[in-house]
Structure 1
Amino acid sequence: MRADMYSESWTGKSVEDKNYESFGMIGTRGKLTNAGALLADESPVRYSRVFCTRWSGKNKSGGIVDALNHEEYSGSVISLLNDAEAFIKNNIKTIWKKLSNSRLELPEYVHRSYFEALVNALIHRDYLMNGSEVHVDIFDDRLEIYSPGGMPDGTKVQDRNIRVIPSIRRNPVLADIFARLGYMERSGSVLGKIRDSYERSANFAESKEPSFHSDRGQFVVTLPNLNYAERLSVILFLN
């Protein structure tokens, strides 16, 4: 198992073989724990996958061609994170407008926000729910990241103040390892950081506020396209 190879190339940190047991990745008899299986290069956890789709339009039946791009990823949760992040980057655009001495870049989606949402989906999803995977759906006007399983304490996130929700980790070993590898912080509200990052964007408007929804079976983060419906002659689209 070399789950750390991905993290070392992205964050400069890795987990040494001697730490696998102390980090809860292998048991005392040398066999993979559940967390270890999720972190293994060829993860044996069947439903540890991410389905990514760029849809045509604002829903899943947007026109003659419903899906413009689709990928299904499997492997360690770290590779799933990197693959899903790359898919989003490859299927969104950044526009810019010229200023007097520079140019202002205006992305459709804030990287920090969708990266935090991906981490949250992989760390806190319910891996006991068979037949469901993490889904990344990009529409013309929004990006949705769905993960199986609701709030660990049974509450509904839409009924809570996201800035004061206590940290309750469904998969504490995964969360601890992701924190050690630099993918997430041990404290603070992830949902609050998603919203704060959006609000700091130059093209943010109150109508573009990220939203969160959960019930017993799902958790969904919706990130509005910050540039949707904008048609300004002074901006150029970049590939």
Structure 2
Amino acid sequence: MIVICMLNLRMVGLSRRRCHGIRTSRLSDLNLAKLDQYFQTYGFDLSAEDDKERLLRNADLMTDQRQVTVAGLLLFGIHPQRYLPFAAISIARFAGTEIADELLDQQVIDGPLDQQVDSALAVIKRNLFRPSRIESTRTVDSRFQYPDRVFRELIVNAVVHRNYAIHGSRIRLLMFEDRIEFISPGRLPNSVTVEKLRVGVSCAVNPIILRYMENLRYVDKLGRGLPMVYRAAEQAGKRIDCEEFGEEFRVVLQL
């Protein structure tokens, strides 16, 4: 049996916190192969651990009641939407600049959070409107294109910081010819303002999810993600606007 110490658990995920479990969820709802791959990064062999639930409790992925936590399902669940049906991303692509314009593509992306981020990025890249021009004998794109890391950061920001206690609402990505809107359920924490976001100030709404997404290398540990997005937009002469409306937070990236 592997002996787990609290110091190492802080590296793996977090020290013990008060976590809410999902009623009726069990160890069998977790992807043990994915968990084993994650823990091996930190020198733990989950497959050889006699008491797997003990390790997962100490890592804030299960509770003392043997239930899987919200973070555990969202990060390592086989099918998180079985218990959290609205913990997903809805993407819509419109032909023009208004939501009443023709709908060209629509889909819902589910699965664990890392899979949602990767799939949403692929959908954005596939649906980007790319006007082109003919140069000599070849066709070239005539519009500035953001690097993938800009879209990835805005998707990650939405899934990591949304309020998962709000039921009935998914993250929405609305793609228009001139912009993409990233809409996430939940408001900014009291201590954070839109102005502070520009310089990398943040407050974790979901600290366990944030820590694991950092360890999975989806989140910059130095808080440079949103400042990078602002800089990329400014260098291209584009606008990026952040605002709260109702119980949602919206980022509008000009294309």
Report TM bin, short chain.
Answer: 0.7 to 0.9
User: How far apart, CA to CA, are the structure 2 residues paired with 1:172 and 1:28?
Assistant: 19
Alignment match of 2:88 (pick from 40, 49, 52): 49
Q: Which of these two proteins has the greater Rg computed from alpha carbons?
A: 2
Match of 2:70 in 1: 34
TM-score (norm 1): 0.75
User: How far apart, CA to CA, are the structure 2 residues paired with 1:135 and 1:3?
Assistant: 30
TM-score (norm 2): 0.71
Unaligned 5+ runs, structure 2 = 1-29, 47-51
Match of 2:165 in 1: 128
Greater share of helix: 2
Deviations 1:204-231 (A, max 9, x none): 12xx121111245111111111xxxxxx
Deviations 1:159-204 (A, max 9, x none): x24334532100000000000011111222432121123345xxx1
User: Does residue 143 in structure 1 map to residue 163 in structure 2?
Assistant: no
User: How far apart, CA to CA, are the structure 2 residues paired with 1:193 and 1:60?
Assistant: 28
Whether the aligned pair in 1 keeps the contact of 2:78 and 2:112 (CA below 8 Å) is yes
User: How far apart, CA to CA, are the structure 2 residues paired with 1:57 and 1:104?
Assistant: 19
Whether the aligned pair in 1 keeps the contact of 2:192 and 2:202 (CA below 8 Å) is no
Unaligned 5+ runs, structure 1 = 226-239
Q: How many residues align?
A: 208
Deviations 1:132-180 (A, max 9, x none): 11001110100111100110127652xx243345321000000000000
Identity, in percent, stands at 24
Instruction: Output aligned runs, 1:67-78, within 5 Å.
Output: 67-78=103-114
Alignment match of 2:148 (pick from 86, 100, 111): 111
Shift in Å, 1:2? 2.2
**What SS is found at the alignment partner of 1:21?**
helix
User: Does residue 80 in structure 1 map to residue 119 in structure 2?
Assistant: no
Aligned-residue CA RMSD in angstroms?
Answer: 3.1
User: How far apart, CA to CA, are the structure 1 residues paired with 2:198 and 2:98?
Assistant: 30
Match of 1:2 in 2: 31
User: Does residue 169 in structure 1 map to residue 204 in structure 2?
Assistant: yes
